[in-house]
Amino acid sequence: MILTIDSKSGVHRFDVELARTFEQQETGMMFRRNVPANTGMLFPYDPPQDVTFWMKNTLVPLDMIFIRADGTIARIATAKALDLTGVPSGEPVAAVLEIRGGRAGELGIAPGDKVNWPH
């Protein structure tokens, strides 16, 4: 699935996997040795909810982009590989996008930017 993020630095396209089921969301991006630059995984929530992510068995750092129901980015957190510290959304979110660690900063993606995906 293609997802776009509209930011001040331009429109950024990502080819993302969709983690819809509990099992898919529980596994997430565990055990992967790399995440290509413009790929990721989207975790949708309907209805929006407070969520907490961790990096159990996740071998690479990831940016976690927490997305509100209106599509705007609430916050971005960069999580270290294998870190079991919970990363909370901080508010109810409609989705979380995981991309390669540091990629949001490289592209100038920031809170308030708009995320678009078919849903």
Express each pLDDT in 40-69 by its tens digit.
Answer: 999 999 999 999 999 999 999 999 999 999
Residue 26, domain CATH: 2.60.120.1140
pLDDT on residue 119:
80
pLDDT on residue 73:
98
Neighbours of 116 (CB within 10 A): 12
Domain count along the chain: 1
Express each pLDDT in 90-111 by its tens digit.
Answer: 999 999 999 999 999 999 999 9
pTM equals 0.96
CA distances from residue 87 to 4, 84, 102 in whole angstroms, order as listed: 23, 9, 16
3-class DSSP state for residue 7? strand
Q: Strands, DSSP E only, in the chain?
A: 2-7, 10-18, 39-49, 52-53, 62-67, 73-79, 87-88, 93-100, 114-116
Rounded to the nearest integer, the mean pLDDT of the chain is 96
pLDDT on residue 64:
98
Per-residue pLDDT averaged across 62-78, rounded? 98
C-alpha–C-alpha distance, residues 63 and 100, integer Å: 6
Range of the domain at 83: 2-116
